[in-house]
Structure formats: C-alpha cells, structure tokens
A and B are shown apart, each in its own frame.
Chain A
C-alpha cells in the first residue's frame, strides 16, 4: 500500500513542479512535499507500519523519492533565482547584449590574403615593389619595344620622360630577378595604374598579383598544373578550365586562363557574355629577352609568369558590378565584409 502511495506522490510532485513559474510557487511546493510536515515526511512516518521483510525495498524507494524531489526542487530554485532580482522580480533576458565593434580588412585585402595563402602553400615568396616606376622596369626590360603598338595595350600615366605609374606588377619581376638568382618562386601583389576613363568596369587604379617561377626545368605543363591548383583552391574544386593563346611581350608562349562561369555553371549568362567561361588571368613562359635584361642564362633556365586582377576576382566572387565601389570607402560597404 505504501509503495503505491509513494508512486502516487511521486506523480503528483512531478505534475506540480512542472507548473511552477516563480519562486513563490516553488516555496509552496517545498511546504507541501519537503517540509517537516510535508507529504514525504508523512510517508516516512508510515514506514514503521510496513512488514519487516518489505521494509528494505519500500524504504529504498522512499529514499529515492526524497532525493529525487529535493534535487528537482534545488535545480529549479537555482534556475528561478538566477533569472530574478533579489526581490524576486523577473529579469528581461531578451534585452540586447553589449557588442564590441570588430573592424575589418578591405575586401580587396581579404581577397589578396586568400590568394597569398594559396601561393605561399605552393612554396612562393612574397615581394613588393614601388608604384612610381621607371619606364625601363615597366616596359623596356619586359620586352616592350619602344614605338611598338604593344605599348598601347596599357594606357600609361607618365610622371616624366622616363618615369611613370606602373601599369602592371610585372616590373617587380625584373626587380626580383635582378636581386635574386634562380630558383626564384614568388608572387608580387600591388597597385597599378591605367589611364583609362573611369566607369563601372574600369578605374584608373587597381590591384594585381604577379607570379614568377624560374628554374632549370620549368615547363608550360607545370604552369598549367600550378594555376589549375590555384583556381580549384580559390574558386572551388569542381571547375573546368581552359588555356587560350594570347599575347604579352614578356611571355612566349602566352596564354589566358578561363574557368567555368560559376554563376551559370557554363550554361552562359550575362556576366560571362553567354560564353560559359570567365577569364581569370594572363600567363605564359618568361620570354628569353626578359632573361637577357636580368642576365639570366636563357638556355639554362626557363620560367613562367602570371598575373591576375584582384578587383576583377573580387567582383566575380562577390557579385559586385561597379568597380568604383571599392574606392568610395562608404562605411556601409566596408562593413559588409
């Protein structure tokens, strides 16, 4: 009989405590069940009437009930106390927390960082070079012959007859090769300038990452392998790629690398001009004339070079359609990344 009572009081307790929502109600529970005159105490009083042989079993379950309900009570008490002020009033936990402003790097820096991490992982060093360059480093030593229409490919801001704002990061190749002997494996990020009318698609200044690897057995096949590895790490594993012949005075053979347009997955859309392909970089094998300018033995060494625009890369990746937004530094833009 007592064991049935125990069971019944257990059920009652569970039901009562589940309805408690404040400390006052909880106190009522304590009085009803756990106080000296409470229901559980009264059950202990009845224990003496139980048959001797049943005592250990019933006693055990009674102890269990007491421990269980005391526990339940304590847990809930702690919970209710922590959400109430000293006088028992409820705290509004939904009030906003205190946040710290976290700054952020410019999205172009973040994009460059991603590119840098990949190439550093492939054993590349990182070099820097000046933006106000000599005509020699920017054009002549890169095999742009004077008076050649190839110079028209890059509209130039001139500072004087022999100095200009670099039109690409390629002059850093010349600087690195002049100061290091092969093997040279490096990327050279930086800011470049073009005297082109400012529009949503072109700006008078932008950023590039140049890459260079010169050693005794560098092949076009390795160039392809390295750049495909980069593209897969940067744009995603499942892309297709193609290398198309192109022309740069400082590489021969030269190529442009396209990857599957990841907006339309190659089906053709506005961004890829319905071709299904996106051009991501220019590259090629270092022209022997360039080796001549830096006194490398063009018979002994071969090398590859590549260059990509960071703005273009970021625009593709983040769906930005107007290049000017990068340089307006509107806080509402900066905070998005």
Chain B
C-alpha cells in the first residue's frame, strides 16, 4: 500500500524525525517498506518554464521547435506533443535531469538535424500518472524557473508498505500513524468531526434494512442533498495521486480518500436512482446477472450478498457498485454507505468473481465494525466542505448486535517466558495504550486488556505478546550464545539418500533435479499419472510417474547444446494413482515414493592421445549398477534377472531383486521411446526404488584375515555352442569345483569364422587357495583336469589348444 508521509503527519507529529528513522522503525515493527519515492529527490531538477515561441520543425511534420524561457535563459527545445503551444507554462527538464520513467538522463541532442536543449514533460514521464496524451500544461500564474517540487507540491515521500494479511488496520494512513505514534511515543490524533446542522432529517429521505444479518452485521449511512459533482480540489487530487489513485470526481474522490484515511471502504449511491430511496442488504437466492460500474456484466452465484434498492440490485456488497446507481455529473443527492461485512462472505464472492477491489481487499481482511459511522460522517463532512449541499440530520445505523471488544489477559511472566527477557511493566502498559488497547484491570502479574475492534488479529495472550515485542523492537530481544542440546535419540531420514548420492558421484555421475510437474506425453510413458486440478500450463499438468521421462528430456536438451556424453543421476519422488477412476481423497489413493535413476549415454571415455574412445553400452550400465550396489554394501545380497516384456520401454533389460522383490530395472531404451524425446543416440538407464532398497538388511561386515598362503591360478578356454550363456557356464564351474576353487572370472569372449557360425569362445581364470595351508601344484592340477573334462562333457564344449 502507498502511504504518503505528508498525509501521515496529519495524525502524528513526525516533525523532528528524519525520513530514514521513520522508514527504519516501520521496517523494524513489521510494516515492511518495500520502496521509497522521495519526490524532493526525484523532481529536484524539473522546473516551470514558459513556451515563448513555437515553430514547425524544418525536417519533421510532427515535431515542434519551441523557444523555452527557463527564467534564466532561453533555450531551443524540440517537442513532439500535439498540445504544446506558445504562451503555455510547462514542466521542463533541463539537460542533466534524470527522467523517472525509463530512468534516463536528458542530454543535448540533435533531432532530425536540429539541436534540442532539454525536454517538455508529460505526466507519465514524471510517473505522476500513465497519461501520455500530451505535455502537462500548468497554471499560468506559476513563475518560470520555479522548481516543480514547490510549484506542484511534489515534496512528499511516498512509502510502498507491504501489509501482512493479519494487519487490516494498517491498510490506512491512520493505522500506520498509530503504529508510528507507539514506536516514537508521540501523540496521535484523528480528525474531529463537526457537522453543520440541518433542518431535514435523514430518516425522512432514506431507509436501510438488513435481511442477511450474518453477512452484514452493520450498515451505516449518511445522506447529503444538493451537492455538486465536479472536479476535486488540488489538495485532494494530490493526495489521491500520491496514494496511487486516479482522481475521478469530488464525491468518489472523498470516499476513496476516507478509505485511505481510516481503512473503511465507502460507496456513494445516487439517491435519486435508488428506487423508493431504500437500501436492502440481502443474499441472492438464485444465480443472477449484474452490471458493475466498470460496465462489465457479471454472473453472480446464489448466495451472493447484494445491496438492493426498493426493486433492484444496486451493488455487490463490499466489492463493487452497479452502473445503475452510480454517481454522475448530474447527481444532486447521495447516500454514503459505510458498512461492515462478514470477511469470508466477501472473500468467497471476490474469489468466485475473480474481482479484487480496494474495498474487497479490506473487507475480507476485516475492518473495524465500530468505525463505520465515524467514516460516514468524515466523508459527509469533507463532501460538504468541497461541494456544498446539505448533510441531513442524523444517521442511518443498522447494527442489530454490537460487536464488542475481546478481553484478553496478559501475564507478564508468560511474556518473559516466551521472549526470553523482561520488559518493564510500565513500558508494556504504555505500548498497549498507544496501540489502542484499554487496560481494563490490573492484577498482580497480569493485565486484562480490551482489544480494539480494529485489531481483529489480536485474540489471545500470545497476540498481545507479539504486539509488545514488535513495538519494543526485536533488536532488544537478547541473542543468546548458549543452548542446551538434548542427549536423546537422533534421526536422519535423509541419510540413505545421501549415501546414494555419494555412491553415484564417486562413480562419475552428475546429479540433476527435474521438475516433477510434466506434460501429458512425459507422464504417460509409464504408470498411472496424477493430474493437477489447476495447472499453470499444459506442460506441467501431471506429476511424474517415473524419473525416466525427465531424465530423457535432459538428454535431449543437452544433446541440443552439444553435450553428448552424459552420466547423470537423480533421486526424487514419483507419484502414481492406485485406481485411475477414483479421485484422491486419502493417502491410500496414491503412492508417492522415492526412486533413483542412473543414466548413461554417448561416450564413456573420449579419444585421447594414449587411448581410444569407448561408448557407454549395456554392460557398462550393468557394471555401474553393480559398483553402485557394492558402494551401498548390498553386493552379495541382490540377484540379477533378465526378462523381456514387449511393453517395456527397454530393448534389452535386467532387474535387481532381493529374494522375490524386484528393486529396480533398466537397460537400453527403445529407439521409438527415444524418438518421442527427439534423442538420436543410445541411452541406457536404470531406476531403483529407494524405499525398497533402504529396507534391505545390509550384511554385517566382519574382518577377514588376509590370506597367508599362496594362490594357484589356472586359465582355460572352451569353444561352446553360441546359445550357452556365461551365467550357465560360470555357475557350473563354481558348482563342480571343490571348496579350493575360490573364484571364476571371464577374461575373454569372442566369435569368429574359424570357430564356426554358431560357436563362441569363452576363457576363464580360476583361482585356487586355502585359508589353512599351502596347496600343492599336483592337487590343483588334478582338480583342474577334472574340471576340464566335466565342462567338456556337460556342455559338449571343446577345450582350446594350450
């Protein structure tokens, strides 16, 4: 909200306090100053100037060549505005002036071959409004050379304050001034109301009836007759402009002014357009249509709180008035509405209509139910002052049940217990009083406070504690340098994920973080996708069902920028709906689980001066997955299995399982899947279910004495039928060997024409040793020969010549 410092000074005497101090105190009390516009600073170089002469630019039809008198000198200035003319007083920016709009500095320029020494300004260039219709034309009495800060009263400091949703009272100058008074211990005053008397009584000219008392607990109104709708006086227009509002006419301007002064939204009806001079506040029973004063036809659902006259709807309560009862230039008699509406009713309607106004913003946060009449009278007084007329005697004030002040007890020891330091009781009382809290009773050690109704956010003791802490300054709360650490059990639920990350990075993988919100194509690759009801865009409409599509998109993006060789991993949550046809009403309707994906694509090693390049392939992936498992100590626990499923996204694939549970799977991604992602190189990936992985008991490690006796190593190579797998042979060798055979390692594999079309050669290294003695060559040789003959027999294999 824009707050004018000059305006604030009408309620609190800030004369001796610097702008910097004011801003700092506001910041440190919870009214965050987001921006400061110091007009004296911004407009310091602009002056009033006189256009002495206007000629056409010799080389441009739309430009004028003006001679401008700045009071000190006469300058030639080029102006493009259609309304510039000789004899005018204008706002002039001399060379060197910084123009607020666009933040550029005026320099001596040549425009179409002619020199220009400065600029004649329009309102938008000064950021006074958005108007760029033409240059600003000033009152003729102003003297050339006068700074505009003086001539146009541009000497205010405008603060942009971010008001948190709990502080509706601060959505007004009076509210901010009250905080400042408390912060600086200064006197605070609100305008006094003195209304002229009238011989006409209000009750004879208008009446108000509330049908829906729940949603409209109070409706106050004042009536003025014989007013004249016209342009507002300069002081009023200036104030509204400084608060960021556009002046409209004196009546609307006063209602806006009072709203920005007290926080109470007001609405002025043309009384003569209200049928039977009557106001009825009621909620609609069925869907209706209504044309608001911005000339928009709006569809209102049943249950919308409306202001009606004797026969029709005239305003959406608390949000916007209707075109049918709006003030216009011929309006003579007005009714000023100053009501209190139920906060959630206004919020609901504002949400449904997607219509937020200054009024609805305040009503939905909660205004002061006991301030309505004051604001109505304040507006009546101001309208009377600037437009004449007659303020009818009395007020309409329908308030069936007075909303009373809450009573909250504040225990001083609780204040100390929560904040960790003591604030003297006198100081506590003083803060409360400044903020408008009445101390109804003083007990020993506690204060019973009446909470003003303009502070709906204060309901409990802790709310009072915050008020005191805030005004006394958080900087006065000590920053202690010692804490107690409880020696209880400690948890780290992210430790396992950390181990995975450490394992992955040590294997050369880079971690990616992808957006779990995906488009339909990606989310449909596997699983049962969950839809977001209010997505931002079609490509973020679903939650990911797997980490694969996100990872593939990363491959595509990287390939596009020339990064072809990738080893990536991601650990993240995936989401699947259990039953596609039912909505998500409980945690049982979906599965959210953490998975990790490893992906490799391109070259595993590049061509170097001393080595050849190598591509990532299926076996590389397999080995990486094995190394990973070893790294997290699950080797010797998990099994490999191989299957082919036509629906799988993999051409060739393998799984890792524990007992009968599959923990993860992966392989070479099918070309057709890659094509969907616009990837033109092989991709290998593997996804693990982290939750399952985490549950597997890790084999405990025990120290094993390093071998004391030598190993005996033997190699052999056989020619097998091509369809015999490595797995079969190595399992057979392990099974057939005695307990002295400790390891079997494949070290060579090839096929060749010489071997025959459906043959292959596999060569193994066998390691024999015993933990308890030295083996003899003879016993190993005997075993080795036995093994050769059983392998030969079992697989009908042929030992290759030694």
Interface residues, chain A, with chain B CB atoms under 8 Å away: 95-96, 98, 100-106, 108-109, 113, 116, 120, 122-123, 125-128, 130-132, 134, 146-150, 152-153, 157-163, 165, 183, 185-186, 189, 191, 193, 195, 197-198, 203-205, 215, 217, 219-222, 224-226, 228-229, 242-247, 252-255, 285, 287-288, 302, 326-332, 334-335
Contact = CB atoms under 8 A, between A and B. Distances in A.
A132 B543 CA distance: 10
Given A147-B347, A330-B558, A132 B592 contact: yes
Contacts of A195: 534, 536
Interface stretch (B151-159, B309-317, B504-512, B724-732): B504-512
Contacts, number: 247
Contacts of B515: 203-205, 327
Contacts of B569: 103
A204 B536 contact: yes
Nearest to A332: B563
A149 B492 contact: no
Contact of A125 (B344, B463, B492, B543): B492
A128 B609 CA distance: 48
Contact of A160 (B478, B533, B536): B533
A98 B608 CA distance: 9
Interface in B457-478: 460, 462-463, 465-466, 469-470, 474-475, 477-478
B573 A219 contact: no
14 contacts: A98-B608, A105-B511, A113-B498, A126-B494, A157-B534, A159-B532, A161-B585, A205-B516, A205-B517, A219-B417, A220-B477, A225-B479, A288-B460, A334-B511
A190 B323 CA distance: 50
Given A147-B347, A219-B420, A130 B166 contact: no
B348 A147 contact: yes
Interface string B264-292: 00000000000000000000000000000
B563 A331 contact: yes
A159 B167 contact: no
Contacts of B508: 100-103
Given A96-B609, A242-B475, A327 B30 contact: no
A85 to B, nearest CB: 15
A152 B343 CA distance: 14
Contacts of A102: 505-506, 508
A335 B565 CA distance: 13
A15 to B, nearest CB: 39
B561 interface: yes
B164 interface: yes
Given A96-B609, A149-B364, A252-B463, A160 B585 contact: yes
A197 B536 contact: yes
Contacts of A253: 418-419, 462, 465-466, 469-470
B234 interface: no
A63 to B, nearest CB: 47
B111 interface: no
Nearest to A275: B27
Interface in B111-145: none
B514 A95 contact: no
B469 A125 contact: no
A95 B609 contact: yes
Given A158-B532, A253-B469, A331-B563, A222 B483 contact: yes
Contact of B365 (A149, A163, A165, A224): A149
Nearest to A162: B585
B701 interface: no
Identify whether the interface residues of A are mostly helix, strand, loop, or mixed.
Answer: mixed
Given A103-B567, A243-B477, A253-B419, 16 more contacts: A103-B504, A123-B486, A130-B587, A132-B543, A149-B347, A157-B535, A159-B531, A159-B584, A191-B572, A203-B515, A204-B540, A219-B419, A220-B418, A287-B462, A327-B514, A329-B568
A222 B573 CA distance: 35
Nearest to A150: B165
A152 B165 contact: yes
Contacts of B469: 220, 245, 253
Given A101-B567, A159-B532, A332-B561, A106 B479 contact: no
A210 to B, nearest CB: 13
A207 B517 CA distance: 15
B583 interface: yes
Contacts of B501: 105, 109
B396 to A, nearest CB: 29
A220 B465 CA distance: 11
B364 A244 contact: no
B492 A104 contact: no
B483 A215 contact: no
Contacts of B646: none
B511 A103 contact: yes
Given A195-B536, A244-B28, A245-B29, A128 B592 contact: no
Contact of B493 (A127, A146, A219, A329): A127
A224 B517 contact: no
A183 B485 CA distance: 10
B314 to A, nearest CB: 26
A217 B531 CA distance: 45
A245 B164 CA distance: 10
A297 to B, nearest CB: 14
Interface in B501-556: 501, 504-517, 530-536, 540, 543, 554
B513 to A, nearest CB: 5
Contacts of A285: 418, 462
B482 interface: yes
Interface string B436-449: 00000000000000
Interface string B414-457: 00011111000000000000000000000000000000000000
B470 to A, nearest CB: 4
A329 B419 contact: no
A242 B30 CA distance: 12
A27 to B, nearest CB: 31
Closest 10 CB pairs between A and B? A221-B420, A219-B420, A245-B30, A247-B164, A123-B485, A253-B466, A329-B512, A225-B480, A103-B505, A147-B344
A246 B575 CA distance: 35
B651 interface: no
A247 to B, nearest CB: 4
B486 A221 contact: no
Contacts of B475: 242-243
Contacts of A127: 491, 493
B164 A331 contact: no
A331 B557 CA distance: 10
Nearest to A274: B36
A242 B32 CA distance: 13
B608 to A, nearest CB: 7
A183 B486 contact: yes
Contacts of B511: 103-106, 109, 334
A123 B460 CA distance: 32
Nearest to B30: A245
A330 B557 contact: yes
B546 to A, nearest CB: 15
B780 interface: no
Contact of B587 (A134, A165, A186): A134
B611 interface: yes
B364 A159 contact: no
A108 B554 CA distance: 17
A222 B481 CA distance: 8
A224 B516 contact: no
Contacts of B587: 130, 134
A332 B566 CA distance: 11
A113 B515 CA distance: 20
Nearest to A146: B344
Contacts of B167: 247
